[in-house]
Amino acid sequence: MKNRCRGPQIVAKLRQADVLFGQGKIVPEVCKEIEISQQTYYR
């Protein structure tokens, strides 16, 4: 069963990703930290 996020949860994860990118992390590290796959991030 897939775990789907709702709109506000998606926005929160993307904001968290922006903060992590600002700290100099790369995509694989960010995806692991916010618990999503790289494919999901790019989608």
Contact 20, 29 (CB under 8 A): yes
CA dihedral 21, 23, 29, 33 (to 10 degrees): -90
Which amino acid makes up residue 37?
S
User: CA 30 to CA 42: how far, in whole Å?
Assistant: 12
Mean pLDDT calculated for residue range 8-17: 91
Tens of pLDDT, residue by residue over 17-37, are 999 999 999 999 999 999 889
Three-state DSSP at 4 gives coil
- For the chain, the average pLDDT equals 88
Helix or strand holding residue 21 (H, E): helix 7-22
Query: Could you tell me what percent of the chain has a pLDDT over 70?
Result: 95
